Amino acid sequence: MSKGTVVITGAANGIGQFYAKRLAADGFDIAVADVAEADATRAVVEAEGRKFFSAVVDVTSPDSTLRFAAAVEAALPPVVALVNNAGIYPWKSFEDTDFATWKKVLSVNVDGPFLMTKAFLPGMRARKYGRIVNVASTTFWLNAPQMTAYIASKGGVIGFTRALASEIGGDGVTANVIAPGLTNTATMRGVNQDIYEYLPKQQAIPRVIEPEDLVGVVSFLCSKDSGFVTGQTIATDGGQVRL
């Protein structure tokens, strides 16, 4: 029996795909919104025996996110959780960050969670149950150069989540943040190889963070067990950041 549907943005590949696989194993059906086709994620979800739906979605567009919400409602069981995982992370100094880049990063990383929440929160409130999980980054607390727009956006995600939690707690809906450290994915490693050599040495658990290290936290935050946890940010980085 399905536990309901979890919507995950940016899950056609990368860390989002690992979230989808774990949540499908937990018994949830999965809906994916991404700018790319999610055939590989479909395969891992259906291998767990769960239903799957995906669409190409622009998370910065009110119309696109609302159309996606309607399509998910028609295709799958009621949505019980939303994981706002989609994000972009250009490595540019402040000097090299033009206004167009700044607006794009803020639009995807902050407007995206806002619009997806706008699209799916009404159903959660009507059913008096829901879990919203937003994805930030431990760079918010670190000395990380050339990431001004990205770190600003992740600060916005944390602030949005804290404020949102205060408004929806009475409706049985929680809102929390997972803040991963630098994780071993093909995309990230391709531009940050040198960092992977020294960053783990700063962690209490001195090894590279793998996507599998993150999925348990997201699983918990999407579960009934997290029902009295809201407005929180959980750093998942092997103990480098201490909150």
H helices of the chain, in order, are 14-25, 39-47, 62-75, 99-106, 112-127, 148-168, 186-192, 195-198, 215-221
Q: Which of 19, 89, 129, 150 is catalytic?
A: 150
User: Smallest Cα–Cα separation from 214: which of 235, 194, 231, 228?
Assistant: 235
Dist CA 199 CA 211 (whole Å): 16
What are 87's two structure tokens? 């994000």
Q: Is 19 in the active site?
A: no
Give the chain's largest Cα–Cα span: 53
Q: Could you tell me the strand order of the sheet in which 233-236 lies?
A: 52-56, 29-34, 5-9, 79-84, 130-135, 173-180, 233-236
User: How big is the chain, counted in residues?
Assistant: 243
- Known catalytic residues are 150
